A and B are shown apart, each in its own frame.
Chain A
């Protein structure tokens, strides 16, 4: 049977606002990040999920709590779903890293070689192996059953891009062509071994087209 996998990026974090690289660094959500997670919680209210997993970093756990905390389900936190370990780049801004590393860094951002290991950190290949082992284990655990299942994983921009790359069969060096905003919702539908991407980087819960539409023109609702 099919497994529907919801991949959710955490809300805005302190690191995001300060434009600092945070991978393993355990930063908190900002107030805006909490607001974003609440919007997504509202959006997903009516959606049944069979199991929820998250990275064990605070920004992911907090986001998961807000969205799925009141459902009486375990939220399983795993260190394997963490963001890439940025090593010596942790806590530095884009500009600071550029100053320190020069062309090496810009080429990593533009056309990353998956084997390049960030000093004291990870390479994309290492991240890929760590995250995909965990995701495949989770998928394995939930398949071979009678019914379709819906699983949610709340983690990080880099980790989610890796999972999407694997489903698409896209080489990891292309991962920056995929955008991931705060509380982005992505969906992969797995049939047997094949994954189909059915949603990518959707943040319509943060938009106001629907809210404004309903407020300004309540008549509209009847037309629909």
Chain B
């Protein structure tokens, strides 16, 4: 049997617009974020999904409810799918941190090693353990029976990059070489011992090339 894992980033949040750093900060979706999620709902409406997991932060829950609510499938909230905890940087503007704490900022956002973290925040390695333990549990739990399954996980930019790094066998220090936009759709296909990243950062539901024809 195969497992198709859809990894979805939440829609645009208030902090995204205000260029503020949010990890655990529990901000809302903006109106645009809601619109983005509706477009993704429209795109995925005919794709059968067996079960949905999401982070327990509002921006992820709201996105999940828009995309998958009303389908009559289970939506399970998992605290371990939260974004990375950014300690003293939570809710502060990117620009302020960049100018005041240049070295620390660079060592996190540009050149991280596994031990990198925000001041009093979670290290990349600890974050990796938290997220991958949960994702592996989810894969394990759904890896039984004959039937092929499609699972969706709705969470956050860096959490999704972690899952992609693990699938690609990519060292975590390269994590920022992967882009994640609002409501980005990513797909990993698991087939026995094989796995493929078969889609990354796709937001064609937000484009308009297909509307014109």
Q: Does A174 contact B (CB under 8 A)?
A: yes
Across the interface, which residues of A come within 8 angstroms of B39, CB to CB?
224
Q: In the complex, what residues of A have CB within 8 A of residue B169's CB? A: 170-171, 174, 177
Q: Which of A178, A181, A202, A211 lies in contact with B197, CB distance below 8 A?
A: A178
Q: Are B42 and A213 interface neighbours, CB within 8 A? A: yes
Is there a chain B Cβ closer than 8 Å to A116's Cβ?
no
| Cα distance, A214 to B199, chains bound together (Å) | 24
Instruction: List, in ascending order, chain A residues with CB within 8 A of B213's CB.
Output: 42
Question: Size class of B's contact patch?
Answer: 20 to 34
State whether A195 touches B179 (Cβ < 8 A): no
Q: How far is the CB of A153 from chain B (nearest CB, A)?
A: 18
By the criterion CB–CB under 8 Å, are A220 and B42 in contact?
yes
B-side contacts of A126, CB under 8 Å: none
User: Would you give the 0/1 interface string for A24-54, flagging 1 where the beta carbon is closer than 8 Å to chain B?
Assistant: 0000000000000000001111100000000
B197 and A168: CB pair below 8 A?
Answer: no
Shortest beta-carbon distance from B192 to chain A in Å: 12
Docked-complex contact B198 and A179, CB < 8 angstroms = yes
CB contacts (< 8 Å) of B137 on chain A: these are none
Among B179, B196, B199, B211, contact of A189 (Cβ-Cβ < 8 Å)? B179
Residues of B within 8 A of A198 (CB): 179, 181, 201
Give the bracket for the number of chain A residues in contact with chain B. Answer: 35 or more
Contact A209-B43, Cβ < 8 Å, known A196-B178, A197-B177 = yes
Tell me if B170 and A167 are in contact (CB < 8 A): no
- Answer whether A174 and B168 are a contact pair too, CB < 8 Å, given A179-B196, A197-B200, A210-B43: yes
A169 and B195 CA atoms in complex are apart in Å by: 19
The closest CB in chain B to the CB of A224 belongs to B39
Interface flags, B42-56, vs A, CB<8A=1, else 0? 111111000000000
Within the assembled complex, what's the spacing in Å between the Cα atoms of A198 and B182?
12
Interface residues of A in 89-138 (CB under 8 A from B): none
1/0 contact string of B165-200 vs chain A (CB within 8 Å): 001111100101111010000000100000111111
In the complex, which residues of chain A have a beta carbon less than 8 angstroms from the beta carbon of B171? 169
Q: Which residues of chain B are within 8 angstroms of A46 by Cβ–Cβ distance?
A: 209, 212
Give me the interface of B with A, judged by CB distance under 8 Å.
38-39, 42-47, 167-171, 174, 176-179, 181, 189, 195-202, 204, 209-213
Task: Write 7 A-B pairs (CB below 8 A) sorted by A numbering.
Answer: A46-B209, A169-B177, A176-B196, A177-B196, A181-B198, A198-B201, A204-B202
Q: A44-B209, A179-B196, A209-B47 are in contact. List 16 more A-B contacts (CB 8 A).
A: A42-B209, A45-B209, A168-B168, A181-B198, A197-B178, A197-B200, A199-B200, A200-B199, A201-B198, A202-B202, A204-B204, A204-B210, A210-B43, A212-B46, A224-B39, A224-B42
